[in-house]
Structures are given as C-alpha cells and as structure tokens.
C-alpha cells in the first residue's frame, strides 16, 4: 500500500512492526569473509549506493538555509552598490554645464523674489490725502466737518464730478451753501464711521460773504462744552473756504444764547488767526486715520505751531512727527522752509506714517496761507511730491472716496 503522506506516529508504529535482525556468526567468520571479498585491498571495490534508500534531512535544511542567507546578503550588497553608484552618478552630473544651469536657476529665483519685493514695494507706495487746486478742473470740492468719536469735528473732503453737481443742484456753479444743502442730506456719515450730524438743524442763508444760521430752541449744540466745540469746529471745516463769518441767531433773529457762553453777539469768524491750526493724527475706532487740529488750538506764529506738533498733551490727538526726527523752521514771507537736521530717508519708515508727517506739516503751513519747502530729504521725489521746489498749497485735507446716488 502506497502512502503519499506519513506522519511521525504512523512511522513509529510501522518501525515497531518490522522484524528484528540478528546475526549468529562469529567475529572470525565475518573477518575471513571480508578478507576473501578484498575489503582491505588498496583499491576497494566501488559500491554503488542507492540514492533512494534514505535522505539526510538535516544537512539538506542547513544547505538551503545557507543558500538563502547568501542570497539575502548578496542582494543587500548589490543594492548598496547600486545606491552608491547612483549617488556617484548624481554627483558626477554636476558638470560645469550643469553647475552653470543651477547658477542660472538660482539667479532666476533670486530675480523673481526681487521682482515680487519690488512689486510689493510699489503697491505699498503712500497715497496722498490732500486736495490741490489742479484737481478741481473736472471736480467740485465738497468739504465738510464730520462728527468723530470724541465729539470733535474732523475735516473731510469729497471730490464730486462736475456733471453730478450740475445734475443734483441744477446749476454748474453752485454756491457753497447750495452745495451743502444738496449733498449733506445724501451723505451716509455712519457708513464712513462717523456719527450722524448733518444737515444742520435750523436754517442757513447767505448774506454776501457771510452766513446766518438761525437755530431752533431744541438745537442741543450747546449741550456741553464738547458739543459746542464740535458745532463751531464743523462750521469752520465746512464753510471756511467760502465765507468769512457766521452769525448765529435764534428763531426771533436775535443773537443766540449758548449755555456756558451766554449771548453770542459777535459773528463767529471762520478765517482769522483763530483758525490757524497745526495738524495731528486722529484715529477713529474703526481704524481710519485723519489729520485734524488738536482741539482747535490756534497759533499766531507758524514756527510755534510746528514746534508744538511734537507735544502730545492728550490721548486723542497724536503727533505726526516721526520718532527721532528733528527739524528747523524758517519763515520767509509766503514760503516756510523746513530743514531736517539729519538726512531724512523716508524709505526707512512705514509709508503711511511718512506721508502723515509730510502732509501734516504741509497743512499746518497752509493754515497760515503759506507754502512749504522741505530741505535735507534723501528722496527728491516721493509719494507724488517733488521736494526740489516748494510744495503747492492744498485747498483741503483728508480726501475720501464717496459716490453720491
């Protein structure tokens, strides 16, 4: 019976059933027979072995394991050699031509980075916020004092295209009061971050180069000293470019009575030395920044006004003079020369801060009806300004973009 598969137990049982082999011959008989068969000759007879009689399993397993280990070691060795070879080949690729290519690529990357930096620098150029006469050929200036977060008027300027002015007012050359009466009701002050304040309560009318403001009894413009300051400041910011004074009356046409002040018998002047201000930085709660007089503090002398610009007497108005910057002022008739003690490199400062200082000084000098000439600035042209000559006198500050519907 042929069995293809034997387990250890079946083999053990089979061996036990096999007959026992015994040999009764003596040693001499066995020896003599071996001698007769030539077992001790020099060339013993070749005995053919039957390879199928038995297999030595242990040596076979050892041989197979050895071969497997040798294969693994060889493969690892070959892999390492290939890796080394590839590394060497990669290193060898750095020929002069490839090195030149890599250098060119690095230069291109550096050039791209510089281009991006230059592009960013261009985008970061400061924007002028002052309005000049040259901009009024196709536009009409609408200047107005808006109520800020701290009950103080902030001067704001809007350029309205002439065709819109003609369409809304019915004339191509409206007076300042006609412009105000037409556009102030259309202005959404809250959308700009300001408090609702305009149009004024009561009635406004023109009498030559002066205004008359007739107030109702419940006007509330004198509810406190801050409210009165805001009201008078807004009159200056709104009408100073067109009128000399404002006469404030009650409904009976008599001089108005203000709490904390009494009867206002004299007209309120819009264009005298009391309107000669220096300009500070005022920041709204929404983050918007404007140039504004410091609580309407006025000066008789432009040198004194500029000197005072470095003094911060409160937490509301901050100086526009850059830290570590010192300057000298010379007042010569219509031109004020401002010389920086050390060469001023405006590129070393945040663009908006540099622009605020330049424009704050320009507006301060302009409030004295003068032009300014800057000296010892590294840049001859910067932010749209040409510092090689006196700067044109602006007509208004804090230009904002607003479209009237």
Provide the 3-class DSSP secondary structure of residue 50: coil
> What is the pLDDT averaged over residues 124-133?
87
Sheet holding 335-344, edge to edge: 327-332, 335-344, 371-377
Selection from 364, 189, 363, 366 nearest residue 288 by Cα: 189
Q: Where are the beta strands (DSSP E) in 139-288?
A: 139-147, 153-161, 203-207, 210-214, 245-249, 257-258, 262-263, 268-269, 277-283
pLDDT score of 109 more than 70: no
Tell me phi and psi for residue 312, to 5 degrees: -105, 105
Tell me phi and psi for residue 277, to 5 degrees: -110, 165
Higher pLDDT, 387 or 111: 387
Distance of CA 89 to the CA centre of its chain: 46
CB-based contact 383:355 (threshold 8 Å)? yes
Q: Would you give the DSSP letter of residue 191? A: G
d(CA 124, CA 280): 23
CB-based contact 396:156 (threshold 8 Å)? no
Distance of CA 266 to the CA centre of its chain: 51
Q: How far is CA 178 from CA 164, 169, 205, 303, in A?
A: 14, 7, 10, 37
pLDDT at 367: 96
Q: What is the pLDDT of residues 241-298, one digit of tens each?
A: 999 999 999 999 999 999 989 999 999 999 888 889 999 999 999 999 999 999 999 9
Higher pLDDT, 66 or 216: 216
Strand 210-214 vs strand 245-249: parallel, antiparallel, or unpaired?
A: parallel
> What is the pLDDT averaged over residues 206-233?
95
Strand 335-344 vs strand 327-332: parallel, antiparallel, or unpaired?
A: antiparallel
pLDDT at 122: 37
pLDDT at 29: 66
d(CA 166, CA 78): 90
Q: How far is CA 344 from CA 163, 194, 326, 339, 372, in A?
A: 43, 35, 10, 10, 16
Q: Would you give the DSSP letter of residue 194? A: P
Q: What is the pLDDT of residues 309-328, one digit of tens each?
A: 999 889 999 999 999 999 99
Q: Would you give the DSSP letter of residue 110? A: H
CB-based contact 358:385 (threshold 8 Å)? yes
Contacts of 324 (CB under 8 A, 6+ apart): none
Cis peptide before 135 (omega within 30 of 0): no
Task: Show the CA angle centred on residue 320, arms to residues 316 and 325, nearest 5°.
Answer: 135
Of the chain, the end-to-end C-alpha distance in Å amounts to 112
Q: Where are the beta strands (DSSP E) in 173-272?
A: 203-207, 210-214, 245-249, 257-258, 262-263, 268-269
- Calculate what percentage of the chain has a pLDDT beyond 90: 65
- Could you tell me the pTM of the whole model? 0.70
pLDDT score of 97 more than 80: no
pLDDT at 101: 46
pLDDT score of 184 more than 90: yes
pLDDT score of 120 more than 50: no
pLDDT at 88: 40
Q: Would you give the DSSP letter of residue 253? A: S
């Amino acid at each position: 019976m042929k069995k293809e598969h034997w387990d250890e137990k079946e083999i053990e049982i089979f061996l036990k059933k096999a007959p026992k082999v015994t040999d009764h011959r003596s040693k001499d008989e066995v020896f003599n027979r071996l001698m007769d068969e030539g077992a001790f000759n020099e060339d013993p007879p070749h005995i053919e072995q039957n390879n199928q009689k038995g297999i030595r399993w242990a040596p076979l397993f050892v041989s197979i394991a050895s071969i497997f280990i040798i294969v693994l070691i060889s493969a690892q060795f070959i892999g390492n050699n290939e890796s080394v070879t590839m590394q060497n080949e990669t290193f060898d690729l750095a020929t002069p031509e490839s090195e030149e290519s890599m250098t060119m690529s690095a230069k291109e990357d550096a050039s791209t980075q510089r281009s991006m930096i230059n592009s960013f620098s261009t985008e970061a150029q400061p924007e002028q916020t002052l309005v000049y006469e040259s901009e009024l050929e196709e536009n009409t200036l609408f200047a107005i004092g808006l109520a800020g977060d701290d009950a103080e008027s902030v001067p704001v300027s809007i350029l309205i295209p002439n065709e819109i002015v003609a369409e809304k007012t019915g004339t191509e050359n409206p007076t300042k009061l006609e412009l105000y009466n037409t556009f102030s009701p259309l202005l959404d002050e809250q959308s700009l971050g300001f408090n609702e304040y305009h149009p004024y309560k009561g009635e406004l009318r023109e009498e030559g180069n002066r205004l008359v403001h007739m107030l109702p009894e419940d006007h509330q413009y004198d509810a406190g000293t801050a409210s009165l300051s805001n009201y008078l400041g807004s009159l200056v910011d709104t009408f100073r470019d067109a009128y000399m004074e404002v006469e404030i009356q009650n409904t009976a046409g008599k001089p108005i009575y203000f709490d904390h002040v009494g009867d206002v018998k004299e007209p309120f002047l819009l264009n005298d030395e009391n309107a000669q201000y220096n300009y500070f930085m005022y920041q709204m709660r929404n983050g918007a920044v404007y140039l504004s007089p410091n609580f309407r503090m006025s000066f008789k002398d432009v040198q004194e006004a500029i000197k005072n610009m470095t003094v911060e007497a409160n937490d509301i108005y901050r100086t526009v003079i850059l830290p570590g910057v010192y300057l000298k002022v010379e007042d010569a008739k219509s031109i004020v020369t401002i010389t920086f003690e050390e060469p001023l490199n405006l590129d070393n400062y945040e663009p908006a801060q540099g622009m605020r200082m330049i424009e704050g000084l320009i507006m301060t000098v302009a409030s004295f009806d003068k032009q300014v000439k800057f000296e010892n600035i590294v840049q001859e042209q910067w932010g749209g300004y040409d510092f090689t000559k006196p700067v044109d006198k602006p007509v208004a500050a804090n230009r904002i973009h607003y479209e009237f519907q």
